[in-house]
């Protein structure tokens, strides 16, 4: 998520050093994250009556490993699916509406599965759903890439404070937060361990 987000406006601090995590409030541990993803995977299959038309697009940085984990769970449950044909990444940096308010962001990779997204059900996967602006940018990015039959949204954490009429179809955990708090998602693939933290509560 680092390309897409910056700590000050979006309440996350991906790039921050990990020194403060000891004092932080761990709200989800590795087992909870695993269970939430398993449940979301089943919900995706249930809602779409199987996984044959589904494409999971992770939003870098942390949406991408989450999308891969979901894909692995879909493959494990449903016959005839392949992880590589199911998962891709969607970088939204160049579609953001706040580029001018931050230092230049590094552009991540966009990588769509070979079958494309036309007439598929695209499930956007992100770590934290907050203002909804990343998702708005993602919807614009998708419309430049093709015309999916439907777009759905899966987020590991929904922390509220939406600024746009956007909601998630699949949520790992609803976390009521104050605006000044920071929600950090750590994943094994990018950070060495799985955890969701809330920081900055004492102020």
Positions in the binding site for another protein (CB under 8 A): 2-3, 6-9, 13-16, 60-61, 91, 94-95, 99-110, 140, 144-145, 190
Shortest Cβ 105–another protein spacing (Å): 7
Residues 6+ apart with CB under 8 A from 96: 4, 105, 133, 134, 137
Q: What residue spans of the chain are helical by DSSP H?
A: 7-10, 30-47, 63-77, 83-86, 133-145, 188-191
Minimum distance, C-beta of residue 61 to another protein, in the bound complex (Å): 5
Closest to another protein by CB, 23 vs 167, is: 23
CA count, 13 A, side-chain hemisphere, 32: 15
Nearer to another protein (CB atom), residue 18 or residue 149: 18
Report the residue number, 4 or 172, with the smaller CB distance to another protein.
4
Least separation in angstroms between CB 129 and another protein:
20
Instruction: Provide, rounded to whole angstroms, the least separation between the CB of residue 134 and another protein.
Output: 15
Residue 90, both tokens: 């969607």
CB of 15 to another protein, least distance (A): 4
Nearer to another protein, 14 or 158 (CB): 14
The answer to whether the Cα torsion of 19, 70, 60, 156 is positive or negative is: negative
Reading the block at residue 17, the tokens are 């050093």
Q: What token pair was written down for 138?
A: 């993602």
Q: Are 59 and 1 in contact (CB under 8 A)?
A: yes
Nearer to another protein (CB atom), residue 31 or residue 114: 114
């Amino acid at each position: 998520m680092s390309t897409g987000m910056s700590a000050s406006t979006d309440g996350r601090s991906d790039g921050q050093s990990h020194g403060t995590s000891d004092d932080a409030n761990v709200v989800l541990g590795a087992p909870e994250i695993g269970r939430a993803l398993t449940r979301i995977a089943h919900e995706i299959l249930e809602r779409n009556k199987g996984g044959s038309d589904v494409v999971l697009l992770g939003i870098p940085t942390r949406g991408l490993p989450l999308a891969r984990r979901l894909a692995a769970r879909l493959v494990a449950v449903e016959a005839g699916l392949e992880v590589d044909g199911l998962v891709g990444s969607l970088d939204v940096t160049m579609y953001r509406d706040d580029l001018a308010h931050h230092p230049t962001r590094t552009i991540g990779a966009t990588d769509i599965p070979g079958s494309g997204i036309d007439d598929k059900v695209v499930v956007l996967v992100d770590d934290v759903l907050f203002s909804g602006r990343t998702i708005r940018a993602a919807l614009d990015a998708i419309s430049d890439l093709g015309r999916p039959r439907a777009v759905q949204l899966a987020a590991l954490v929904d922390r509220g404070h939406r600024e746009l009429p956007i909601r998630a179809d699949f949520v790992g955990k609803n976390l009521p937060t104050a605006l000044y708090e920071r929600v950090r998602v750590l994943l094994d693939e990018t950070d060495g361990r799985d955890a969701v933290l809330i920081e900055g509560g004492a102020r």
